[in-house]
Structure 1
Amino acid sequence: MARRAWVAATLVAALVSTGCTQVVSGAGRSERPDVTKVAGLDITTGESGAKPGVADADLQVEGGDGGEMDRLAINTLADVEEYWAEQLPARFNKEFQPVKRLVSYDSNGEGVEICRTNTAGVANAFYCSLDDSIAWDRGELLPMLDDAFGPMSVVTVLAHEMGHAIQYKLGEIGGINQATPSIIKEQQADCYAGNFFRWVAEGKSKHFRISTGPGLNQVLATMFFIRDAAGTSAEKQGAHGSAFDRVAAFQFGFAGDPTRCAQIDEAEIKARITQQKFDSQDQDKGLGKGNLKVDDQKSLDLLEESLQKAFNQSGATPPSLTDSASDCPDVSETSPASYCPATNSISIDLPDLVKIGTPPKRGQKGGIGDFAAFAEVASRYALSIQKATGYELEGPAAGLRTACLTGAWAGATNQNGVRLRLSSGDLDEAVAELLADKSLIAADVNGTVVPSGFARVEAFRDGFYQGSGLCTRKYSG
Structure 2
Amino acid sequence: MARRAWLAATLVAAMALTGCTQVVSGQGRAERPDVTKVAGLEITTGESGAKPGVPDADLQVENGDGGEMDRLAINTLADVEEYWSEQLPARLGKEFEPVKRLVSYDSNGEGVEICRTNTAGVANAFYCSLDDSIAWDRGELLPMLDDAFGPMSVVTVLAHEMGHAIQYKLGAEGGVTQATPSIIKEQQADCYAGNFFRWVAEGKSKHFRISTGPGLNQVLATMFFIRDAAGTSAEKQGAHGSAFDRVAAFQFGFHGDPKRCSQIDEAEIKARITQQKFDADDQDTGLGKGNLKVDDQRSLELLEESLRNAYKQSGATPPAFTDSSAECPDASATSPASYCPATNSIAIDMTELVKIGTPPKRGQKGGIGDFAAFAEIASRFALSIQKATGYALEGPAAGLRTACLTGAWAGTTTQSGATLRLSSGDLDEAVAELLADKSLIAADVNGTVVPSGFARVEAFRDGFFEGSGLCTRKYSA
TM-score range, shorter chain: over 0.9
* Aligned residue in 2 for 1:460: 460
* Aligned residue in 2 for 1:201: 201
Contact kept, 8 Å, 1:37 with 1:43, in 2: the verdict is yes
- Secondary structure class of the residue paired with 1:13: coil
* Aligned residue in 2 for 1:245: 245
Q: Deviations over 1:383-404 (max 9, x none)?
A: 0000111111011111111001
- The more displaced of 215-224 and 378-387 is 215-224
Q: Deviations over 1:210-230 (max 9, x none)?
A: 001111112112221110000
Contact kept, 8 Å, 1:28 with 1:466, in 2: the verdict is no
Distance 1:66 1:393 in 2: 54
From 27, 31, 38, the equivalent of 1:29 is: 27
Distance 1:473 1:254 in 2: 23
Q: Deviations over 1:133-166 (max 9, x none)?
A: 0000111110110111110000000000000000
* Aligned residue in 2 for 1:118: 118
* Aligned residue in 2 for 1:20: none
Distance 2:475 2:381 in 1: 17
Q: Deviations over 1:170-220 (max 9, x none)?
A: 111111111111000000000000000000000000100000111111211
Contact kept, 8 Å, 1:163 with 1:192, in 2: the verdict is yes
Contact kept, 8 Å, 1:34 with 1:455, in 2: the verdict is no
* Aligned residue in 2 for 1:148: 148
Following superposition, the deviation at residue 11 of structure 1 comes to 8.2
Matched, 1:296 2:296: yes
Written as runs of structure 1 = structure 2, the 5 A alignment for 1:297-336 is 297-336=297-336
- Secondary structure class of the residue paired with 1:351: helix
Following superposition, the deviation at residue 14 of structure 1 comes to 4.4
- The more displaced of 411-420 and 168-177 is 411-420
- The more displaced of 355-364 and 229-238 is 355-364
Contact kept, 8 Å, 2:28 with 2:465, in 1: the verdict is no
Distance 1:14 1:285 in 2: 24
Written as runs of structure 1 = structure 2, the 5 A alignment for 1:92-171 is 92-171=92-171
Distance 2:239 2:111 in 1: 26
**Identity over aligned residues, as a percent?**
89
- The more displaced of 146-155 and 347-356 is 347-356
Say if 1:474 and 1:11 are closer, same or farther in 2 by CA, change over 3 A: closer
Q: Deviations over 1:11-44 (max 9, x none)?
A: 84349xxxxxxxxxx9741234421111111111
Distance 2:121 2:75 in 1: 25
Letter in 2 for 1:418: A
* Aligned residue in 2 for 1:19: none
- Secondary structure class of the residue paired with 1:142: helix
Q: Deviations over 1:252-276 (max 9, x none)?
A: 1000000000000000000000000
Distance 1:75 1:302 in 2: 52
Contact kept, 8 Å, 1:35 with 1:451, in 2: the verdict is no
Distance 1:69 1:221 in 2: 20
- The more displaced of 111-120 and 188-197 is 111-120
Q: How many residues are aligned here?
A: 458
Contact kept, 8 Å, 2:324 with 2:348, in 1: the verdict is yes
* Aligned residue in 1 for 2:448: 448
Contact kept, 8 Å, 2:230 with 2:424, in 1: the verdict is yes
- The more displaced of 130-139 and 459-468 is 459-468
* Aligned residue in 1 for 2:5: none
Distance 1:417 1:87 in 2: 48
Following superposition, the deviation at residue 423 of structure 1 comes to 0.2
Contact kept, 8 Å, 1:27 with 1:466, in 2: the verdict is no
Q: Deviations over 1:388-430 (max 9, x none)?
A: 1111101111111100100011001122332111000000000
Instruction: Note the residue ranges of structure 1 that are not aligned, 5 or more in a row.
Output: 1-9, 16-25
* Aligned residue in 2 for 1:60: 60
* Aligned residue in 2 for 1:78: 78
Letter in 1 for 2:91: R
Letter in 1 for 2:260: R
* Aligned residue in 2 for 1:357: 357
Matched, 1:386 2:419: no
Distance 2:222 2:442 in 1: 18
Distance 1:404 1:114 in 2: 45
- Secondary structure class of the residue paired with 1:102: strand
Distance 2:80 2:347 in 1: 49
- TM-score w.r.t. the length of structure 1 is 0.94
- Secondary structure class of the residue paired with 2:276: coil
Letter in 2 for 1:332: S
Say if 1:12 and 1:110 are closer, same or farther in 2 by CA, change over 3 A: farther
Instruction: Note the residue ranges of structure 2 that are not aligned, 5 or more in a row.
Output: 1-9, 16-23
Contact kept, 8 Å, 2:25 with 2:268, in 1: the verdict is no
* Aligned residue in 2 for 1:427: 427
Distance 2:468 2:215 in 1: 30
* Aligned residue in 1 for 2:412: 412
Distance 1:344 1:76 in 2: 52
Say if 1:410 and 1:96 are closer, same or farther in 2 by CA, change over 3 A: same
